[in-house]
Amino acid sequence: MYPILFTIPGIDYPISSFGMMMAIGFLAAYWLTVRELPGKGIDVELSSNLLLFVMIGGVLGAKLYFAVDMMFREGGDFAGYFFRRDGITWYGGLLGGIAAGAIASRFYRIDMRGLFEAGAVATAVGQSFGRIGCFLVGDDYGKASDLPWAVAFPNGAPPVDYPVHPTQLYEVAWLIPVALVLYSRRKKSPFLFGEYMAANGFGRIFIENLRVNPEVALGLTEPQWIGIGLVISGISFWFYFRNKDRAEGAVPA
């Protein structure tokens, strides 16, 4: 585990491995998205502004989700949870990023569908870097395990001194093939981001069985319900755009 990579001299500000991986994930996602924008008819000159929208929306969404979730589960002060340095949740970030992307599309008058499709592969890759960051700081691990690759996180959040499933890396092992498949389908899919949503949710539903989140309804955890929502939404959008293209003659029926 490497929760702190280094401390900035003079101000003694620690740079966490999660923060570094999140920054790398944003940059990788930006680079991959920019490569796809011209093919979607979107001006590359807008890419920095679009990234700023999505990045701010993603961080705000992650913090809001964490703060509201903690208030409902444990009570306490909203501001205290919101401004905690470690309060980051992926699904909150995803929802916030989607909302910010939609707002940016309206603001700059660009094709929303094209923008999301351009960012589909990038989102899977960026999420992978984020999960590596979670592993480095010992967050979001799974249940106790005696498998050879099980890991203990004595300085984790919270600490655990016995081997557990490194579910963060399980998600990486799922997301990288997903990103490769999405990349191969860039010119074939009626809505590539819908495929990412469905694949993301599908993987999380199963990986969540090895994690320690509490059940909230019908034996399923909160992330599993969100995963089900992503699968349904992703498939629904996929069929909607496929049928729309067929009706407009964009693809053969």
pLDDT surpasses 90 at 146: yes
**CA–CA distance, 253 with 250 (Å, rounded to integer):** 9
pLDDT in tens, 194-221: 999 999 999 999 999 999 888 888 889 9
pLDDT score recorded for residue 74: 72
pLDDT score recorded for residue 176: 96
Question: Are the beta carbons of 191 and 238 closer than 8 angstroms?
Answer: yes
Question: What is the token pair recorded at 223?
Answer: 């992330």
Question: What is the token pair recorded at 242?
Answer: 């496929």
C-alpha to C-alpha distances, 91 to 158, 160, 187, 251, nearest whole angstrom? 20, 24, 27, 33
Return the bridge partners of 211, or none: 142
C-alpha to C-alpha distances, 165 to 81, 99, 101, nearest whole angstrom? 27, 33, 34
3-class DSSP state for residue 216?
strand
Q: Span 238-246, mean pLDDT?
A: 93
Sign of the four-CA dihedral 28, 62, 96, 91: positive
Higher-pLDDT residue of 109 and 9 is 109
Helical packing angle, 17-36 and 47-74, nearest 10° = 140
Helical packing angle, 222-247 and 192-207, nearest 10° = 160
pLDDT in tens, 55-66: 888 888 888 887
pLDDT score recorded for residue 209: 92
85-99, 144-158, 185-199 — most confident range: 185-199
Q: What is the DSSP letter of 151?
A: E
Helical packing angle, 120-137 and 17-36, nearest 10° = 170
pLDDT in tens, 113-143: 999 999 999 999 999 998 998 898 888 899 9
Helical packing angle, 120-137 and 90-108, nearest 10° = 150
pLDDT score recorded for residue 6: 66
Helical packing angle, 192-207 and 167-184, nearest 10° = 160
pLDDT, the chain, mean: 87
pLDDT score recorded for residue 148: 94
pLDDT score recorded for residue 252: 45
The domain locations on the chain are 4-42+111-246
pLDDT > 90 in the chain, percent: 46
Higher-pLDDT residue of 14 and 172 is 172
pLDDT surpasses 80 at 88: no
| Distance separating the N- and C-terminal Cα atoms of the chain | 53
